[in-house]
Amino acid sequence: MQELRLPELVEKESIANFTFKNETHFQVNPQLRKKLKDATGLGNLEKVKFQIDFLADSGPKSVQTTIWATGSQFICLKGGLWIPISKIIDIKYI
């Protein structure tokens, strides 16, 4: 299992520049799917922001934003930005 370092806080717009090709193995929060569903609802209804910690090929990153949609493999952020769910370490209410 890969040891994760602290994520670098990035601007939401920079996500378009990240790649997610490397195979990764890390401990996934067992409640992640439920948390994503709840965060999507709060993002759409109340514009509530969450901190999303994820693993890009360049290392761990963190972004603070709303989640607009959650699919089976990706989440969608405002501006049509996508993060693979398999690369999300955790999300937290901020």
Q: What residue ranges do the domains of the chain occupy?
A: 8-93
In order, the DSSP letters of 25-59 are: --PPPTTHHHHHHHHHHHHHHH---EEEEEEETTE
Topology of domain 8-93 in CATH is SH3 type barrels. (2.30.30)
* CB within 8 Å of 22: residues ≥ 6 apart: 57
Q: What is the pLDDT along the chain (94 residues), one digit of tens a residue?
A: 455 578 999 999 999 999 999 987 777 788 999 999 999 999 999 999 999 999 999 999 999 999 999 999 999 998 899 999 999 999 999 8
3-state secondary structure of 44: helix
- Pairing of the two strands 59-65 and 81-84: unpaired
The structure tokens listed for 83 are 């993060």
